[in-house]
């Protein structure tokens, strides 16, 4: 006998679909963590590679393990010849859609050329090796696609630079100064994982079918590319550009709020208080200082005051996108690479979720409540 389906909220909001040991977002507290550590504290005290190790192995490495993991992942940055040779064609095909679209194709090719097999058919060690290889290669793919799209030659990765500094080097062709590399690294660490968002859930659904690592990651990239999920740090900067000067903040914001339009960079579906990533990135931006930072801080102050006045009882604060855009702009990243940069970090979180899901042999297969005309009805003849 079939049981009646339970009523569930739209979008599965607040529905627990599995257990995880990878971390959680506690939105009412304004807190999130990777495994047993505060994500924000990790941005202050550990390298990107150390947090990557944490997500894969379950705890933070000691000095020897940290050095070994950093060297090992650096050695995985170079692309197979088949992928490298295909990148110019992929870049030309994605000249309008950008590197994130090209990454989906490149990931599939990378997985095939590297001999990735379904996670269902391989052991945990082989899955972990495949995940490390993909995560290490993605920054090389993204920066190469961007440079090719600009008519520039790709820059080969360097084994002697840590993850964030190497990413900036491959993007610009110049070794970054320490302050900018550190700022980008803190941003990358802060965006490795963030609960069961749409792309993470997508990766786990695909992993539950037993598909290979590249297929799982490619599906996650597809979910991230959607405008309701992919983040909009460049659009938050576009808002600052549109406002222009401090004198225009009040009238510009009021006009958008009254019209019911969204203010890019404000509000988050989980946090009911300040986004801790935004707070951290604000401090990073303020360490650089300058007119852009001062303007962003003033916009934030006035937007929150206007929203409190016009929408009392509904708190809206800056989310990660607002100051992420400011920080990346200060560090010299082109705006079209803001979301791909986010993706380069989130690869680590996706892969950790894929590895965890692969330990469960049960496919994720929810049901849908049929809401069409009652069947069966006679099929009309032509």
Catalytic residues: 268, 321
Decide if 53 contacts 69 (C-beta within 8 A): yes
Q: Report the C-alpha dihedral over residues 43, 44, 49, 51, rounded to 10 degrees.
A: -60
Q: Enter the tokens of residue 375.
A: 């069947």
DSSP labels for 225-263?
Answer: TSTTTS--HHHHHHHHHHH-SGGGHHHHHHHHHHTT---
Decide if 53 contacts 65 (C-beta within 8 A): yes
ω into residue 376 within 30 of 0, thus cis?
Answer: yes
Sheet of strand 23-26: strand arrangement:
23-26, 31-34, 37-38
On the CB side of 45, CA atoms within 13 Å amount to: 8
The alpha carbons of the chain give a radius of gyration, in whole angstroms, of: 22
């Amino acid at each position: 006998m079939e049981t009646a389906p339970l009523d569930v909220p739209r979008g599965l909001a607040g529905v627990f679909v599995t257990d995880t040991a990878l971390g959680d977002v506690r939105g009412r507290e304004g807190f999130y963590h990777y495994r047993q550590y505060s994500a924000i504290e990790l941005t202050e005290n550990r390298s990107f590679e150390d947090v990557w190790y944490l997500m894969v192995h379950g705890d933070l490495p000691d000095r020897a393990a940290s050095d070994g993991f950093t060297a090992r992942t650096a050695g995985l940055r170079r692309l197979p010849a088949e992928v490298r040779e295909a990148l110019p064609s992929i870049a030309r095909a994605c000249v309008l859609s950008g590197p994130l679209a090209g990454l989906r194709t490149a990931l599939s090719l990378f997985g095939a050329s590297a001999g990735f097999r379904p996670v269902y058919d391989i052991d945990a060690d082989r899955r972990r090796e495949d995940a490390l290889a993909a995560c290490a290669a993605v920054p090389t793919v993204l920066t190469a696609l961007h440079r090719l799209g600009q008519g520039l030659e790709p820059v080969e990765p360097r084994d002697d630079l840590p993850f964030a500094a190497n990413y900036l080097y491959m993007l610009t062709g110049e070794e970054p100064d320490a302050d900018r590399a550190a700022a980008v690294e803190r941003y990358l660490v802060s965006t490795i994982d963030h609960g069961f968002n749409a792309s993470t859930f997508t990766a786990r659904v695909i992993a539950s079918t037993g598909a290979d690592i590249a297929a799982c990651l490619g599906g996650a990239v597809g979910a991230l590319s959607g405008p309701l999920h992919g983040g909009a740090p460049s659009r938050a900067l576009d808002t600052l550009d549109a406002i222009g000067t401090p004198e225009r903040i009040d009238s510009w914001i009021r006009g958008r709020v009254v019209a019911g339009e969204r203010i890019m960079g404000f509000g988050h579906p989980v946090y009911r208080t300040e986004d801790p990533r935004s707070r951290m990135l604000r401090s990073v931006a303020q360490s650089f200082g300058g007119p852009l930072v001062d303007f962003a801080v003033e916009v934030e102050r006035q937007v929150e005051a206007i929203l409190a006045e016009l929408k009392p009882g509904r708190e809206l604060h800056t989310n990660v996108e607002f100051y992420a855009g400011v920080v990346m702009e200060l560090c010299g990243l082109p705006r079209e690479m803001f979301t791909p940069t986010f993706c380069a970090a989130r690869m680590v979180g996706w892969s950790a979720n894929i590895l965890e899901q692969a330990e469960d042999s049960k496919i994720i297969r929810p049901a849908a409540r049929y809401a069409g005309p009652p069947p069966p009805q006679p099929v009309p003849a032509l």
